[in-house]
Amino acid sequence: MKYALTGRMSKEVDRFTIDKMGVPSLVLMERAAVSTAMKVAEIVALFRRNVRILAVCGKGNNGADAVAAARILSWQGVAVDIAVIDDDRKETEEFATQMTIAGNSGLNFVNVSAIPEYDIIIDGIFGTGLSRNVEGIYADVIDLINCSNNVVVSVDIPSGIDSETGAVLSKAVKADATVTFGYNKVGNMIYPGKELSGEVTVADIGFCPEAIKTLNPCMYFTEDDLRKIPDRKAYSNKGTYGKILVIAGSRDMSGAAYLSGASAYRTGAGLVEILTYESNTDIIKKLLPEAIVTGYNEDNYCCMLEKSLKKATCVILGPGLSKDITAHNITEEVLKRCEVPLIIDADALNIIAEDISLLKSYSHVAIITPHIGEFMRLTGLTKEELLKDSVAAAKCFAQEFNVILVMKNAVTVVAEPCENGRAYINSSGTGAMSKAGMGDVLTGVIAGMLSLRIEPFSAACMGVYLHGIAGEIAEEEQGSHSVMAGDVVNILGKAVNK
């Protein structure tokens, strides 16, 4: 597990390491500069010719990092110049020190208008502390960088990206690579910041790890975390891994029920029962013979539901359920009677959106998995309002309604239902997964993680990550346009064992 910080948190980590631990600021800066220079040197090697590099710098510590990186590269024999954006802002002490060293080293200083003449730009204009819109000469310089045919390496975060939200503060550098220090930044992980950051390298520059213990940073997973998925016990049976009840599908709509049930089996469930409309039972039995398939109709759904709920250890509610009167009644009954972890998706969420008090009345563990459209209906907010700060929006909703919220998007955010609760930013997945049925697969994967006795919040996070890894493998095998939800189901085993 890794952590992603906001600008405010990054400043606190700096302060803790410097003031409490006594590590000099310039020591950290030199290590940051070395990491940046190493990345630039990698890119220089790809050109296989002499290149010209320009460090474009503001007068803050981010600019100081870039000046130091330029000096280190020059000492390695690489042609590097420096351009400082000339305005009336006061320079930091560290920036003044690095400029003195650069001058003593004989580096050449040029005007920012020369940007198009260079092959590689080191972007050191703004760092993670930026919180206002970019204007004036800074906006002009960023436009010049983006319009020039350079390779751009940003220091810590592309200039103009809000480190808290990933938003563009009116103008932002489009980097090919970003070298960020100590910990990744939230702004590098959430769109549009994620796209503008390019390839992100997280460089260890010597921050004290104690510094983050009181900060509650966002979490993200890497492939190493897949090892945390529990091994299957040798001495076990199907009952060891629970019974997942999938309440899904509607009249002649069987696909979502199958995808959820199959995904639960592929990720560890011992037994899956699918409760669906009676017209779907034959086809689901053929698609998934391992499942118990129970049919209901408008007259007997209440009785069938009661029997199935009694045996379940986890319930999935909503995929393909429709919004007819029977679906409404089933949703209400499940929220009244279910006493085990409940994963709510799709049509059940849309039914709840019509009466949000239904969600507030549920007193057991609930994991809800809305995509942005469904989340808009649940909250009454616009897409722009939700994505302005998606982590904050997810945390607020999770706490208010006492649910684990999986806010599905190109970058999915998971939030825990308590004050100062944990938040997870997903780092896996691909645009190839923007297809129908992927959400149904995700509900099954989360249920599978719960069946392995992973605690609910971690199960939701691991389910999201594993789902994305399976999508990436499917893209490698099928191509970006050809991946279907069923491909992801069949690849889940490879993802678990990656």
Instruction: Give the integer Cα–Cα distance in Å for 451 and 447.
Output: 6
Smallest CA-to-CA distance from 157 within 149, 146, 168, 147 is with 168
Instruction: Give the integer Cα–Cα distance in Å for 321 and 439.
Output: 13
3-state secondary structure of 77: coil
**370: preceding bond cis by omega (within 30 degrees):** no
Q: What kind and span of H or E run contains 34? A: helix 25-47
CA atoms within 13 A on the CB side of 50: 4
3-state secondary structure of 152: strand
**Long-range contacts of residues 384-391, Cβ cutoff 8 Å, at least 24 apart:** 388/165, 388/167, 389/164, 389/165, 389/167, 390/165, 390/190, 391/165, 391/186, 391/190, 391/218, 391/415, 391/423, 391/425
- DSSP lists the bridge partners of residue 181 as 203
What are the binding residues? Answer: 61-65, 123, 127-133, 138, 156, 159, 256, 320, 371, 408-412, 439-440
Phi, psi of 127 (to 5 degrees): -110, -150
Q: Where are the beta strands (DSSP E) in 33-183?
A: 53-57, 80-84, 108-109, 120-124, 151-155, 177-181
Other C-beta atoms closer than 10 Å to the C-beta of 357 total: 7
What are the binding residues for K(+)? Answer: 62, 123, 159
Q: Is 475 left (phi over 0), alpha (psi -120 to 50) or beta?
A: alpha
What are the binding residues for (6S)-NADPHX? Answer: 61-65, 127-133, 138, 156, 256, 320, 371, 440
Instruction: Give the integer Cα–Cα distance in Å for 128 and 434.
Output: 31
For 91, which DSSP code? P
What are the binding residues for AMP? Answer: 408-412, 439
Q: What kind and span of H or E run contains 485? A: helix 485-496
Instruction: Give the integer Cα–Cα distance in Å for 18 and 10.
Output: 12
- Angle between helices 438-451 and 485-496 in degrees, nearest 10: 30
